[in-house]
A and B are shown apart, each in its own frame.
Chain A
Amino acid sequence: MGERDSPELLRGTLDLLILKTLVSGPRHGYAIAHHLRTTSDDVLQVGESSLYPALQRLLLRGWVKAHWGTSENNRRARYYTLSASGRKQLETERTEFDRIVVAIHKVLAIP
């Protein structure tokens, strides 16, 4: 059974998760995917066809920066770092996300 994109992540949620992952420091793409998978107990499995376009989108907006570095097993890898505006963006998106989750809960709470 292969790994799949997590079913139907809410629009924009992947960006939020990536930004959050980068708070603890620079990571490369694989590490981000790995982190999302392990911390979500294998629920969030992000494939490269959504991860890398998302990373590029964040780069384009200027929320993350990229640089080439050396990985733990001594290979060249592209590391992504959260930028100042990325940090701000994380705050806004997080608030927005919370608002929506609360809203959804309210809807679901109706008997």
Chain B
Amino acid sequence: MRSLLRQLWYLLRWRRAETDLDEELRFHRDMKTREFHETGIDPAEARRRARLALGNTSLTHDQVRDVWIPHGVQGISQDLRYAVRQVVKARFVSGAAIATLAIGIGAITAIFSTVDAVLLRPLPYSRPNELLDVHTRMTDGRLTTGRLSTLEIEALTNRQDLVAAAAAYVPQPFDATLIRSDGTPINAKIDGVGDGFFNLLGLPMTLGRAFTHDEHISVKGPQAPISIVLSYRIWREEFAADPSIIGRQIRLAEAPASTTIVGVANPAVDIPQGTDFWFNSRMRPSANTHDFNTLLRLQPGVTIQQLEGAAAAAMANLARVEASDVGRGYVFRPLLISIVGDLRSTLLLVLGATALLLVLACVNVSNLLLARSGSRMREIAVRSALGASRGRVMRQLLTESVVLAAAGGVLGLGLAYSAVRLLLAIGASQMPRLQSVPLDTRVVLFTAAVLIATALVIGLIPAWRLAGADIRPLLNAGGRTSSGGRTTARLMSGMAVAQIALTIALVAGAGWLLKSFVRLQTTDLGFVPDGRLVVEVRAPRRFASRAEMIAWSRERLERVKAAAGDAIVAEAATFPFSTDRDGSLNVEVLGHPFDPNRQMTGGRVRTVSPEFFRAMGVKLLAGRLLSSDDRQDSPRVVVVNQEFVRRFLPDVDPLTQSFAYGYPRADPKTMSRIVGVVADVRYKSPALPAEPTYYVPDEQWGPDLQETIIVAPRDGRAESRISAIRAELKRFDPAMIVTFTPADEIVANAETRQRLGMTLMLLFGLTALVLAAVGIYGLLAYVASERRREIATRKALGASERDVFWMMIRAGERLGAIGLLVGVASAYVGGRLVADSVFAMRAADPAVLGAATVIVACVTALAILIPAISASRIDALRALRSE
């Protein structure tokens, strides 16, 4: 142990030790010289004798070093030094190799760190693998909120053998208005949670306590006190991390009663995503309204499959009591999967593409090294002749590729860092779990692993090729590499085919996503976002009566109309792609008595002001739109969308029909006549088809706390209206929070995930093209230089420039053709694998595969053409003379 420390000490001050030894040896020699001198020999002769007597000092140096440094270690450092020298010597080849590897390693590191942040890292809760998200769905395709009723939650918690705990949470559809102590309002995201929510996550509170069981018991009357748990973030940002905050009151404009802060949550708690305040939802037990998102913790060791069986039985029991629950089933998903959602498939797709890109980069560099190996044959031969074993030469060559990969890896890590920042900047930071993507030890370790694998991949073929070369003919042939070139060229051709194939796969991938994105953008959303302004407004207080609130909202809309100038202004409860909480009510068409076994139906209900359709640009297909004559006291009317007709009234004239709605049973008082049919509007996502929807005039439904005002200026210049409307609303009610968003921005945000995927794939496709072009060019240039003498001879014997040109083209052509074939086939197979997770994608899409083939073929042709031209211009005389 002690000697190991001394060894280390020596290694650290190695240079010093060497000069010490030098001095010591010099002293020894001088003493020896003096000794000879004293016996009467003249000084010069004495020095000579001393030198002879003492022998080779560098040998002594070596042997001393052997004492200190184990032999293997010495070899490695020697290899390293030699490798670095080789890499530096071949500046251009090395530069190209390092740049290529940096791109490959950088891309995969960037994407890995993203995948790691989203999918691999466990959720920050205690024993996160036991956490599930619970939803319900209708097996017969009826619409449902997917949320659970307290009855259904109770049915799950009754199975204590399987379920450790279940807790409801209620994402509020609308944000709240926090009134600061200085009276200014700020927007705050507030969500209700049920009994045991914080307990289920299993993390200690930062301050104070979670809600007690009593705080969740439902009480009669609206004045039940509200308790608040602050998120760690808002505690720091709004309350300066005040440690004495517990027990303090806060003012929320919408809250009817006093609100008391009882706790500050653990920093890791982020359910629902982005919540600022949690309050105690008071839940009626054994109720059948589907209002609750639900978290569930399994008993240790219980699987989802075990739970599914028991849950299906429990649900069947419930349906015996409540007919509307026939055909309803629980859906359990790991919490992580439910949080990440669609992002998972996009990420895996992109990860696959980056892996291909890395392989392509490796093939490229491997080829580059092979090409260079031609000129290194002699060097290796000499080393072998001097006694280097085959293993030793292999090790040496592999060390070189390690040096290349390491340089590429370090650069790649830097590249990955900036790439991730860029990714977050172009919209990824809105995705779940992507608020930050750390470049930490895990990622660096991953990069190191990739780097070593890369080094092996790029180094093995050239190393094997070189170390195995027969050295005798090389040494004899005086530098002509006539025999080695053929095998090398064959290897390189194989790799060029691989390059072309990989490139086609990547370009086709980019093509699919591009086409999918274009489709998405050209999808008829059912409304026209361009030039529209979306104004979110919220009532800043409770109103004494419904009538007062109606009057207040009506006045608000009038103010906006006046301020907006020449524009259509309408109001609606929801705007497309802006809410994830959509109510659905069961529909009972007049004349078709309620029967759960027949198609009993749910539809999305949307309250709108009469101008809504014109403001949104929604097309009327039959009948009439809503009008301002449809008032509270006039007969109830609705406008339905096309999907509603398709689903519920396929065989009749919808304009002759009436229906009632409600939950779980339709309420006869709501019986309304269908007066019009409008085109389908996509609400959930631009990628998902419209659901059956009916529009109810807001006069007949009543105002909501939060409304969306849509402003459609006739001149299409929505932004120009913002300041006037803002000023007017401020005059109207200074406490009201108002946000302005151009409608096309909302649509663009809804497409972020797809845009991100497409941008990345385009980037990869382009990089792949460049890499492949460089690779193929390099190959043919190499072949041309190998055949320089042959070409010169041919020309000297009368071959024309054209003959040589075509000879070179034919060499490239075959590679290109095989590569294209293999590429199209593998791209198709790969496309089949991912088609399901990409919007409107067809793996066999001839346009995409065709375009990818043509693009790659063109680039390949260019890469073949240039070396062919330069080969055909070889000056026979000069080429032969230089030999």
Contacts and interface: CB of A to CB of B under 8 A. Distances in A.
User: A and B: real partners?
Assistant: yes
Interface of A: 2-3, 28-30, 33-34, 47-50, 52-53, 56-57, 59-62, 71, 73, 75-78
B27 A75 contact: yes
A19 to B, nearest CB: 16
Interface in B28-55: 28, 30-32, 34-35, 49, 52-55
A2 B36 CA distance: 11
A49 B59 contact: yes
Given A2-B49, A62-B3, A49 B28 contact: no
A24 to B, nearest CB: 19
A49 B66 contact: no
B7 A56 contact: no
B24 A77 contact: yes
A77 B27 contact: yes
Interface residues of B, number: 31
10 contacts: A29-B24, A30-B31, A49-B55, A52-B63, A53-B66, A60-B67, A71-B27, A71-B31, A75-B27, A78-B24
B21 A52 contact: yes
Interface in B52-98: 52-57, 59-60, 63-64, 66-68
B53 A57 contact: no
Given A47-B54, A56-B67, A30 B20 contact: no
Given A30-B27, A47-B53, A75-B30, A52 B20 contact: no
B54 A48 contact: yes
B213 interface: no
B21 A62 contact: no
A57 B68 CA distance: 8
B2 interface: yes
A56 B67 CA distance: 7
B28 A48 contact: yes
A2 B64 contact: no
B841 interface: no
B31 A52 contact: no
A60 B7 contact: yes
B60 A52 contact: yes
- Interface-central residue, B31, B32, B35, by most chain A CB under 10 Å: B31
Nearest to A68: B20
The 9 closest A-B pairs by CB, nearest first: A3-B53, A30-B31, A53-B63, A49-B60, A56-B67, A2-B52, A2-B53, A30-B28, A48-B54
B25 interface: yes
B802 interface: no
A59 B57 CA distance: 20
Contact of B6 (A2, A62, A71): A62
A97 B20 CA distance: 32
B27 A57 contact: no
A30 B7 CA distance: 25
A82 B27 CA distance: 21
B379 interface: no
Given A30-B31, A49-B56, A60-B6, A76 B23 contact: yes
B25 A48 contact: yes
- Interface-central residue, A50, A52, A62, by most chain B CB under 10 Å: A52
A59 to B, nearest CB: 8
A72 to B, nearest CB: 10
A55 to B, nearest CB: 9
